[in-house]
Structure 1
Amino acid sequence: MPTNESSALVDTPGCRLPAAWELPTGEIPLWIERSTMPAEPPQTDDEIKRAVVDRLRAVQIPGGDPISEQLVEDVTVESGVVTFVVNFKRLDQSMADRITDQLQGAGLATPGVEHARVAAVDAAAPETGLPVTGVESIIAIGSAKGGVGKSTVTVALAKALDAAGLEVAVFDANVHAPDAPDLLGAEGPVRSTPSGSPIPVDADGIEVMSVELIAEDGPVAWRGAMVHDVVTDLLGNADWTDRDVLLLDLPPGIGEAVTTLVQQAPIDGSLLVSTPTDEGVRASERTGALLDSYGVPVIGAVANMVATDEADVASPYEGDGRSLAAEIESVEVLEDALEPIPFDPALRELQTCTFDEPSTPGETAVASITETLEAFLADAAGPEAPADAVDLRGLPPAASQRQALSEFGVTGDAPVSMLVRGEPREFVDVIEGTLERDDRSLARTTIDDLGREGWLVEFEPAADSSTPSTSEPTA
């Protein structure tokens, strides 16, 4: 490890690093640590962050510096640990490795910083399909038939889940007749992050994204590939912020937008919405069959605008909707029938509805469906990574290995948890091999498959360095 005697500064491209950090080409450092510096007055995290950002502006890269070129989207400092959130999408492998080294060097050269980490801006994105980051679960709400109140049900459930304490988002995938923004009282324009990701509009705590919020110049005739591109861009690239659930309001029919989302988006479950009519049932069967063919579980069918003696206004439809789920024969994965939603004028003004203390038949029915949805989300939730797990997802391979090895210099003999993408066996082999060459060993390595969240790898260093290393996959 670097000492006072060995930490003379040498020039390297873009920043100045201690000579002790210079390694033979191809080697991976076991840890990276700031050289000892003269004692200075204590600094707050905000002061250290400002100093780190100032130092980054002196790092030279093609076109400018990492801040002006918007490669670094965020810098956080907590208890002496600085974390850089980097947009690696714009970098090739060589530049990504160089930027990673420069950022860590700049961070560790800042007084008050004891450890530096680099994280990817799209860390939580899955490896394949349509990546949706910042969202724990996605529930699609659909029907092949228009006019069944699907958007109303979507927004009502969003408000009820929000009232239950969940962080909620709504994506309106209907590019031709978007309704969700008006029902939620959401107003544009949609703004963008420094890297160009659209920022969802906030509607009383519910994040909303819709083409309605970006098409300020009037109607747009969306066609074919345009539909595919706008849907995938607004959903997959949106800057969702730690949402527990996103409700995906599918457009009617089984067209380009619906097929794209069902095929590619990481949807956890779905709800079908239908009026108590033969036409509604047939349309729900088509949508349910599509969802089932791509392995999307159908939680249930919501009978909407049904007749009830308690409603102040008579429903235009006959029947109470109790048999609707059973009539959708092609959907074998349907669970117990959900509470029908009566024709309730109160649901026309969703912004004034109170689903935590329902007072009308419609509010009561929505609250009941919300309980079923919450139970499904709880059951569908997979294992969670420890809060202190180091997130290596999205980092270039060499950078992830360097970052992983640097963590052992911070934790000593304490276990180290890391999140990675893809099957991690090769990653584990590299880490174990590098530690072994440094005469260190691991008592245990465990691997957990977290599904679309990636893989959790936990390294437990051996108390005695002579203890042999073992790897035990748990999934």
Structure 2
Amino acid sequence: MAKHDIVPEEVPTDDLADRVRAGLRSVEDPDLGGSVLESGLVADVSVEDRAVRIAADLAGFDEPTAEDVTEALRRKALATPGVERATVEGETPADAAAEDIDGAAGVDTVIAVASAKGGVGKTTVSTQLARALAAEPDREVGLFDADLYGPNVPELLDLEGPVSADAEGNAEPIDNGNLTAMSVGLIANDEPLAWRGAMAHEAVSELFEDTAWGDLDALVIDLPPGTGDIVLTALQSLPIDGAVLVSTPHPTSVSDTARSATLFEENGVPLLGTVVNMRGFTCECGREHDLFPEADIEAELDQPVLCELPFDERVRDFGTDVPDETAALAETVLERLDDVGDLSVPDHALDLRGLPKSIRHEQATEEFRATEPGEAFYLINDHDPSPLAAELVSAVGREGPPGDAFAEYAVRRQAPDEWVMVVER
């Protein structure tokens, strides 16, 4: 059972918003001091169906400070009993650089690998997953090292830069025989990296969009650790088909990973599941030993465990043979991608993009009431339409969360500005 499943079904919206505001009073304005509410940094707090939206003006801060404040606001909101999701909206230092990234037109599938914190083996999992996918003779695979602050892929794969450009001026990824890879580490020549603000976003954009990936069956992206603004920009801009989370079994690591899962879900990126790394090790005597206290990972994250990797030199061997565990992981990831693939949207789907909020809600409820039992209702929106689902439940006299009230309920982000919701009465 996921954490939010134990929250009471009905939480008065006004009371919940007041409790969130009370919690936010402990967050300090890093510029003026005092509470972010008293200083006016937080302009508004609204609640809809246990989803909290915090309007904040962070444009005056540098990027690291804005990231810290955003995370502090989200943490306080999510710590409020009754809150399932929390987003911070408003102008940020990255707004000018956070444009949608096109690029990689020849790539069929983009898989992101992420972790809530550093040191859990995210890059090891990313690289071994890419190698395992590339082990299939007819499968072309790329690896994009988007970890700007710790680009370790070149070292793991023994790659050397600098990269060269093709006739069109696009950077050519390095080919290590089985897969192609691009990393800022192939450009920086081992110089210390101190990306700030728009520089970091520009680096992500240029590395992804201006790389001559060619025709690839799959591209694995090694995201930076954490839930900062670079990760958020990647989720909102890159065409990610599914994400793999990496965690150790330690309860605090799993708890932090749950926040990463929430961030991905809020941005409509399908979660494929979790890789549990450093599960334990087997000593020379043959006995198995745990490295960390045990946590109920599937219940905590409400996501399937894709595989459990031992603390073993085989997992960190990037030679010719792919470890059996990561070979199995690759097949499981492909199966999960089929399960969470794009929704097929019929021509008669209700498209609400560009309409005022009041009209969206009115049109959605009226058209849904007109559907027959057993008929699927499709809705397209330019942002997450999940809050509308609660109104659809009420519109037909049902009770409970949409997943329980309807025979089928799914929300999927098909593109940065295209969300699809399907509901079957």
- Over residues 404-444 of structure 1, what are the superposed CA-to-partner deviations in whole Å (9 max), with x where a residue is unaligned? xxxxxxxxxxxxxxxxxxxxxxxxxxxxxxxxxxxxxxxxx
CA drift at 1:316: 6.9
Aligned length: 246
Determine whether 1:140 maps to 2:108.
no
- The 8 Å contact of residues 282 and 289 in structure 2, kept in 1 or not, is answered as no
Determine whether 1:157 maps to 2:129.
yes
User: What residue identity is the alignment partner of 1:222?
Assistant: W
Q: Determine the C-alpha separation between the residues in 2 that align with 1:176 and 1:247.
A: 18
User: What residue identity is the alignment partner of 2:254?
Assistant: V
Q: Determine the C-alpha separation between the residues in 2 that align with 1:217 and 1:128.
A: 29
Where do residues 14-163 of structure 1 align in structure 2 (5 Å cutoff)? 129-163=101-135
- 3-state SS of 1:305 partner: coil
Where do residues 280-359 of structure 1 align in structure 2 (5 Å cutoff)? 280-309=253-282, 317-318=291-292, 323-328=296-301, 332=302, 334=303, 336-352=304-320, 354-355=321-322
Q: Determine the C-alpha separation between the residues in 1 that align with 2:287 and 2:264.
A: 34
- 3-state SS of 1:288 partner: helix
Q: Determine the C-alpha separation between the residues in 2 that align with 1:315 and 1:149.
A: 19
- The 8 Å contact of residues 306 and 319 in structure 1, kept in 2 or not, is answered as no
Where do residues 51-450 of structure 1 align in structure 2 (5 Å cutoff)? 129-165=101-137, 166-216=139-189, 218-309=191-282, 317-318=291-292, 323-328=296-301, 332=302, 334=303, 336-352=304-320, 354-355=321-322, 363-378=323-338
Q: Determine the C-alpha separation between the residues in 1 that align with 2:121 and 2:190.
A: 27
- 3-state SS of 2:306 partner: coil
Q: Determine the C-alpha separation between the residues in 2 that align with 1:173 and 1:196.
A: 20
Corresponding residue for residue 467 of structure 1: none
User: What residue identity is the alignment partner of 2:242?
Assistant: G
- 3-state SS of 1:245 partner: strand
CA drift at 1:381: 6.2
> Normalised by the size of structure 2, how large is the TM-score?
0.53
Q: Determine the C-alpha separation between the residues in 2 that align with 1:258 and 1:271.
A: 14
- 3-state SS of 1:348 partner: coil
- 3-state SS of 1:192 partner: coil
- Over residues 159-194 of structure 1, what are the superposed CA-to-partner deviations in whole Å (9 max), with x where a residue is unaligned? 111112321111111111111111122221111122
Q: Determine the C-alpha separation between the residues in 2 that align with 1:382 and 1:259.
A: 21
- 3-state SS of 1:248 partner: strand
- The 8 Å contact of residues 246 and 275 in structure 2, kept in 1 or not, is answered as yes
- 3-state SS of 1:301 partner: strand
- The 8 Å contact of residues 174 and 181 in structure 2, kept in 1 or not, is answered as yes
CA drift at 1:195: 2.7
User: What residue identity is the alignment partner of 1:350?
Assistant: F
Q: Determine the C-alpha separation between the residues in 2 that align with 1:168 and 1:338.
A: 20
- Over residues 293-342 of structure 1, what are the superposed CA-to-partner deviations in whole Å (9 max), with x where a residue is unaligned? 11111111111011154787976723577x322222xxx5x2x3222111
CA drift at 1:259: 1.2
- The 8 Å contact of residues 305 and 315 in structure 1, kept in 2 or not, is answered as no
Structure 1 residues 293 and 163, CA gap change in structure 2 (3 angstroms) = same
CA drift at 1:196: 1.9
User: What residue identity is the alignment partner of 2:292?
Assistant: E
Q: Determine the C-alpha separation between the residues in 2 that align with 1:289 and 1:270.
A: 12
Q: Determine the C-alpha separation between the residues in 2 that align with 1:230 and 1:344.
A: 34
Q: Determine the C-alpha separation between the residues in 1 that align with 2:169 and 2:326.
A: 37
CA drift at 1:382: 6.8
Structure 1 residues 244 and 377, CA gap change in structure 2 (3 angstroms) = farther
- The 8 Å contact of residues 307 and 319 in structure 1, kept in 2 or not, is answered as no
- The 8 Å contact of residues 140 and 267 in structure 1, kept in 2 or not, is answered as yes
User: What residue identity is the alignment partner of 2:129?
Assistant: L
Q: Determine the C-alpha separation between the residues in 2 that align with 1:223 and 1:318.
A: 35
- 3-state SS of 1:276 partner: coil
- 3-state SS of 1:251 partner: coil
- The 8 Å contact of residues 142 and 270 in structure 1, kept in 2 or not, is answered as yes
Structure 1 residues 313 and 271, CA gap change in structure 2 (3 angstroms) = farther
- 3-state SS of 1:142 partner: strand
Corresponding residue for residue 404 of structure 1: none
Q: Determine the C-alpha separation between the residues in 1 that align with 2:188 and 2:149.
A: 11
- 3-state SS of 2:161 partner: coil
Moved more, 266-275 or 192-201: 192-201
Q: CA RMSD in A?
A: 2.7
User: What residue identity is the alignment partner of 1:148?
Assistant: V
- The 8 Å contact of residues 138 and 268 in structure 1, kept in 2 or not, is answered as yes
CA drift at 1:271: 0.5
User: What residue identity is the alignment partner of 1:193?
Assistant: D
Q: Which runs of 5+ in 2 are unaligned?
A: 1-98, 344-413, 416-425
CA drift at 1:233: 0.5
- The 8 Å contact of residues 275 and 309 in structure 2, kept in 1 or not, is answered as yes
Q: Determine the C-alpha separation between the residues in 2 that align with 1:159 and 1:149.
A: 15
Q: Determine the C-alpha separation between the residues in 2 that align with 1:371 and 1:310.
A: 29
Corresponding residue for residue 420 of structure 1: none
- 3-state SS of 2:291 partner: coil
Higher Rg = 1
